[in-house]
Structure 1
Amino acid sequence: MQQCALIDLTALPRIGFRGTHSADYLRVRGFELPEAPNRAVLQADGSQVARLSQTEYLLLGGLADQGQRIADEEVSWELDHNANYLLPRQDSHAWLQLSGACISEVMAKLCGVDLRPEAFPVGAVAQTSAARINVIVINLGPIDLPRFQLLCDRASLAYFKAAVLDAMSEFNGALLEPEALRH
């Protein structure tokens, strides 16, 4: 019986914004923002916003529109007099989703941070090391369907994916295609 699944979402759009006016810019664009750094909020359209620091945000595309909202944000952004800078993340960060009841146990094999639900609740973000590389782990649950968004350096995707799959092996984990999320 499959207890966890890994899906490569690297093809979906993602971008970042940094600067003292980034929050204002994103609110005007209709995004709900996390109140504090290292927190994330799921948007009504399925996209996600993670706050990585006081003035840096990471936006992940939703499946319903294949990330079109986020792709449109990247295309429409223009440099102006406000401190709000676009950070292209499509080429810099790979994106995996780990889901299932045992995801905390899988990640415990790769990462020293306690990612159990009582220590890492829905909405939490950890910028840490897993399998000896830098990763961003985002818990956007919900509790009845545990799932972590895992972002790493794109050049490390094959290595990190193999490490996660190896950690999943004792839990009968499986690599699924993104289409599995649309059912």
Structure 2
Amino acid sequence: MSSLQSEHYIGLSPLQPCALADLTDLARVGFRGTDAAQYLTGRGFSLPQAPNRAVTQADGSHIARLSQTEYFLLGSPADQGERIADEEARWELDHHANYLLPRQDSHAWLQLSGAAVPQVMAKLCGVDLRPEVFGSGAVAQTSAARINVIVVNVGGAFQILFDRASHAYFVAAVQDAMLEFAA
């Protein structure tokens, strides 16, 4: 069990070939609009240069670029997601083309890590997520276990975001896929 309050291992332990951590309690938020990039850069974030790419920030948070003008910010376990929660709390409609997309209640968040991650994901998803194809910083908006997911390769782990109402179902599906890799 991790000492971080925001991580709760629900699969194999972190020392196994594959570990599943529930990060649903960490802050996450989206921003969309033609001025979103300028707004986020002005707030000190480094942004991906193209859609379906992600950048890890110095504080351990991540920014995934989902389209030309949409960004998904994922909080860092190091600060319990505080920086991202603060960004959501301080946002104000300023009549620019930058819109807040609250994601805390809409998206659940799992972290899948370990050497067997590509094999586990192959059991759930038709997209090739092997490291030589889906390297660090890659983002896939796809389907896994028959639900829509966003998969972000942050180097050493996949961040998986999906409909919060499907949390129990998706966790069970991932755990089932992980069984083959239990030591």
Tell me if both proteins adopt one fold, taking TM over 0.5 as the criterion: yes
For 1:158, give the aligned amino acid.
Answer: A
Deviation at 1:82, TM superposition (A): 0.6
2:46: which partner in 1?
A: 32
For 1:168, give the aligned amino acid.
Answer: M
- Matched position secondary structure for 2:149: strand
Unaligned runs of 5+ in 1: 174-183
- How far apart, CA to CA, are the structure 1 residues paired with 2:63 and 2:122? 25
1:70: which partner in 2?
A: 84
Task: Tell me the C-alpha RMSD between the 2 structures.
Answer: 0.9
Unaligned runs of 5+ in 2: 1-14
Deviation at 1:147, TM superposition (A): 0.6
For 2:105, give the aligned amino acid.
Answer: D
For 1:41, give the aligned amino acid.
Answer: V
2:178: which partner in 1?
A: 168
User: Is 1:154–2:164 an aligned residue pair?
Assistant: yes
User: Is 1:11–2:25 an aligned residue pair?
Assistant: yes
| Aligned length in residues | 169
- Matched position secondary structure for 2:179: helix
- Matched position secondary structure for 1:109: helix
- How far apart, CA to CA, are the structure 2 residues paired with 1:43 and 1:10? 19
2:108: which partner in 1?
A: 94
- How far apart, CA to CA, are the structure 2 residues paired with 1:150 and 1:162? 14
For 1:160, give the aligned amino acid.
Answer: F
Query: Which residue of 141, 146, 153 maps to 1:127?
Result: 141
- How far apart, CA to CA, are the structure 2 residues paired with 1:114 and 1:82? 38
Query: Which residue of 117, 127, 141 maps to 1:113?
Result: 127
1:80: which partner in 2?
A: 94
Deviation at 1:2, TM superposition (A): 1.8
For 1:162, give the aligned amino acid.
Answer: A
- Alignment deviations for residues 17-55 of structure 1 (CA, whole Å, 9 cap, x no partner): 000000000000000000000000000000000000000
1:178: which partner in 2?
A: none
Query: Which residue of 56, 81, 102 maps to 1:42?
Result: 56
For 2:168, give the aligned amino acid.
Answer: A
Which contiguous aligned blocks of 4+ residues in structure 1 show a shift greater than 6 angstroms?
none
- How far apart, CA to CA, are the structure 2 residues paired with 1:116 and 1:91? 30
Alignment TM-score, normalising by the size of structure 1: 0.91
Deviation at 1:80, TM superposition (A): 1.1
- How far apart, CA to CA, are the structure 1 residues paired with 2:55 and 2:88? 19
Deviation at 1:57, TM superposition (A): 0.2
